[in-house]
Amino acid sequence: MALTSKISLYNPQWPLAFAAERERIAPGFADDLLAIHHVGSTAVPGLAAKPEIDVLLVVARHRDEVLREAFMATLGYVRGSDLSVGHQFYRRDVQGVRTHKVHVCLVGHGQIQRMLGFRDLLRTDVELRQRYQELKLQLEASNRDGIGEYLARKAPFIDGVMDSQQA
């Protein structure tokens, strides 16, 4: 089983793709929307990544979920399983290739600080960014069972980095 897309060198168009998607998504969350962030590897200049734009929406509350899901469908998104209580997930594929992921988190959700914190560390720490890139390329090369395996094998690295920030 393949990954949702192949890791490629950093593309300076990724922030522009995020900005365009931010404009498309924002109207569907209206007054509940508190912030929209570019997260994930495509948000880190110089980092090789799967060319999938990760978007983090911080919302005051989850409401009108049927309407929001219908709105997101008009943009080509499919609702995935909630990743945890208060953390909804949408994905968009184009011709069978994942292009975007949207995380919708309630304000105060722990994943917000985790995603932003890891992104910011990668942006500022060249050595950490290089180690993470090497790990990602190694995991891609050895992957046999798809995205679930890839994510599970990246998690200990991310956990270790984030735990060291708490100490």
Any domain includes 81: yes
- 114 in any annotated domain: yes
The whole-chain average pLDDT of the chain stands at 92
State mean pLDDT over 11-25.
97
Structural domain containing residue 75: 14-166
Q: Is residue 3 part of a domain?
A: no
Residues 6 or more apart whose CB falls under 8 angstroms from that of 140 comprise 3, 6, 7, 150
Residue 135 lies in a domain: yes
Chain segment 51-70, per-residue pLDDT in tens: 999 999 999 998 888 999 99
Q: Is residue 1 part of a domain?
A: no
Using CA atoms, how far residue 144 sits from 37, 41, 140, 141, 155, in Å, is 31, 22, 9, 9, 17
pLDDT tens readout for residues 77-130: 999 988 899 999 999 999 888 899 999 999 999 999 999 999 999 999 999 999
* 3-class secondary-structure state, position 87: strand
Task: Please report whether residue 2 resides in a domain.
Answer: no
Q: Residue 77: give its domain's CATH number.
A: 3.30.460.10
- On whether residue 6 sits in a domain, the answer given is no
Burial state string for 20-50 with b = 16 or more CB within 10 A and e = fewer than 16: ebeeebeebbeebbeebbbbbbbbbeebbbb
Q: Are 23 and 57 in contact (CB under 8 A)?
A: no
User: How remote is the C-alpha of 18 from its chain's centroid?
Assistant: 11
In this prediction, residue 110 carries a pLDDT of 93
More confident residue, 30 or 45: 45
Examine residue 4 and state whether it is found in any structural domain, yes or no. Answer: no
Is 60 exceeded by the pLDDT of residue 1? no
| Count of structural domains within the chain | 1
- Partner residues linked to 106 by β-bridges: 59
DSSP lists the bridge partners of residue 55 as 38, 102
